[in-house]
Amino acid sequence: MATLQNNYFLKALRREPTPYTPVWMMRQAGRYLPEYRATRKKAGDFLSLCKNPDLATEVTLQPLDRYPLLDASILFSDILTVPDAMGLGLYFAEGEGPKFERPLREEIDIQKLKIPDVAYDLKYVIDAVSQIKKALQGRVPLIGFAGSPWTLATYMVEGQGGTDFLTIKKMAYTRPDLLHHILKTTTEAVTQYLHAQIEAGVDAIMIFDSWGGALSHQGYLEFSLPYIKVILSNLKMMGNKKIPSIIFTKGGGLWLQDQAEVGAHALGLDWQTDIGMARQKVGHQVALQGNLDPAILLSKPEAVEKEVKSILDSYGQGSGHIFNLGHGITEHTPPEQVDVMLKTVREYSQQFHMK
């Protein structure tokens, strides 16, 4: 394996000194890039792109080729590959989000839910990791990822994204035993999936809890966070102690102290949380990642610059900050605005890392 030429992202995750604040973007390989749109067209559709290791490698590298100031790459895939491998029949309707042919509504279907054979059912993802790692030639670290069990369960029960979560919340309140069965099975699947990604060469892992913020306070502490904790501790027991981890709950700023206790190296923040306040609360325990509002990138360069500086000022002196967006980059972002963000981070952050 090639030695990493730029390991500042990994150093920041471990809260070790870096010469500047490292930066990457959620969904950095995506629809805002014309080169991505061309590759997706070649693939035919989004799912075919995910399932083709050659094309997944191509799109993972596209943002790095365009933006040399990025400090990490992230595997091009989708969190819903796991429920798809569990036999729920993932598909993407034109102009709509992801949907499942066989959502989990009946007790009999829930009890039949099986952990997939990662080496077989998700081989295309593991092959993509190996290929991407090779193609990177040590330029920057590679992040692997999965959805949190709760977030995956919302799609598995609701049958699609963009809902008000009433079906799964009704299950949580009336048949918590069924929901816990889904969550336990999915936790085991995600653990095996992330372990396989680590074995294939990813340098860090991230768990996306995109819908954790939809839960009540008690709900989050029962149905979301404990399962993330189980995944992280299982991975450590499987011999992955050295691989740094990030957890990101969108809308999860209320639970920072609880999140800091589960064994992750870093917490991702959405844009509703002030990073300086988050650092005061948990910065002695974990690194922090975030948290520019992706909508800023639709505005003027001066506004982008101002907001980037404001976040860096708020975090302040010292290591342990990975600059990122507070959620995935929107497809309407002009690519040149990303240049403004990256350049500002690189230049302005150096003052916070002086020896």
* Enzyme catalytic residues: 27, 31, 40, 78, 155
- Number of neighbours of residue 165 by Cβ within 10 angstroms: 14
Evaluate whether 298 touches 23 at the Cβ level (below 8 Å).
no
- Contacts (Cβ under 8 Å, ≥6 apart) of 266: 13, 244, 245, 246, 247, 286, 287, 288, 289, 322
State how beta strands 98-100 and 90-92 pair: antiparallel
* Residue type present at position 322: I
Instruction: Provide the CB-side half-sphere exposure for 317 (13 A, CA).
Output: 2
CA distance 240 to 198: 8
Strands annotated E in the chain? 73-74, 90-92, 98-100, 142-147, 204-209, 245-249, 266-268, 287-292, 321-325
CA distance 23 to 11: 12
* CA-to-CA separations, 302 to 221, 307, 308, in angstroms, rounded: 40, 9, 10
Q: Which residues on neighbouring strands pair with residue 266, listed in sequence order?
A: 246, 287
The crossing angle, in degrees rounded to 10, of helices 53-66 and 34-43 is 170
